[in-house]
Amino acid sequence: MTCNLSVYKSIGEREDIIYIGLSKLKKALLVVDAQNDFCLGGTLGIHGGHEIIPILNEYIKFFEKENLPIFLTRDWHPKVTKHFKQFGGVWPEHCVEGSPGAQFHPDLKFPKTTFVMSKGMDPEKDSYSAFHAIDLSGMTLANILKFFGVTEIYISGLATDYCVKYSALDALKDGLKVFILADAIAGVNLQPEDSSVALEEMVSRGAKKQYLKNLFG
Ligand code: VGL
Ligand code: ZN
């Protein structure tokens, strides 16, 4: 893909990455929705959600050290959306744009160069997948990944049975190699087996489970 100015502009402060040979950037880290409302005390608190934060920090440090791109998605809903129970959806109100519940968990540490991508802004749609996320300039995750020549994506975060799953399935559809960071995910489990079924589904479609101790190993 050619490097045109508008892409440069939309990826903002990423000169460091732009100047690294694009060929080196085969791998990228995706941290899905590590936000307050999905953690302990949040309106959609996931059992064990906050416990993955220190592990996410380790993965982030690792990718940072390797100069590989890091993407954080955030669920970023309008106050009125069909996603919420109150308006015909499944979920209690959560991650309302700009609210404290929508902030990243305070213990999550990430470099200034991290790409923050938002999703769930359309009041008509659930938009679980990170592949529906856009950055501040409207660039999609898929476009930025293509721009960097990313072919392998390492997926972590919340929730295993929704946004992690839909992101992984979309990544596979896009032809990416997908690694699920199995020690850095947690699920909602509306039904107790939902997360393990979701993980099985991702694996059966071609994703591989990966762990911190033998990352890239
Ligand atoms: C999610 C339920 C509702 C997720 C988002 O991030 O997995 N789950 N909205
Ligand atoms: Zn949501």
Q: Residue 186: enclosing H or E segment and its boundaries? A: strand 177-186
Q: Which atom of ligand 1 is nearest to the CA of 163?
A: 7
Q: Is the CB of 130 under 6 A from ligand 1?
A: no
Assign domain 20-214 to its CATH architecture.
Answer: 3-Layer(aba) Sandwich (3.40)
Measure the CA–CA gap between 18 and 13, rounded to whole angstroms.
9
pLDDT, tens digit, 9 for 90 and up, residues 27-38: 999 999 999 999
**Is 3 assigned a catalytic role?**
no
Residue-by-residue pLDDT tens, the chain, 217 positions: 333 334 444 455 555 555 454 456 799 999 999 999 999 999 999 999 999 999 999 999 999 999 899 999 999 999 999 999 999 999 999 999 999 999 999 999 999 989 999 999 999 999 999 999 999 889 999 999 998 889 999 999 999 999 999 999 999 999 999 999 999 999 999 999 999 999 999 999 999 999 999 998 7
Pairing of strands 152-158, 177-186: parallel
Q: Count CB atoms within 10 A of the CB of residue 212.
A: 15
Q: Is the CB of 37 under 6 A from ligand 1?
A: no
- Domain residue ranges of the chain, discontinuous segments joined by +: 20-214
3-state secondary structure of 179: strand
3-state secondary structure of 177: strand
Q: Is the CB of 159 under 6 A from ligand 1?
A: yes
Q: Count CB atoms within 10 A of the CB of residue 112.
A: 5
**Is 9 assigned a catalytic role?**
no
pLDDT, tens digit, 9 for 90 and up, residues 1-21: 333 334 444 455 555 555 454
Q: Residue 217, exposed/middle/buried by CB under 10 A (0-12, 13-18, 19+)?
A: exposed
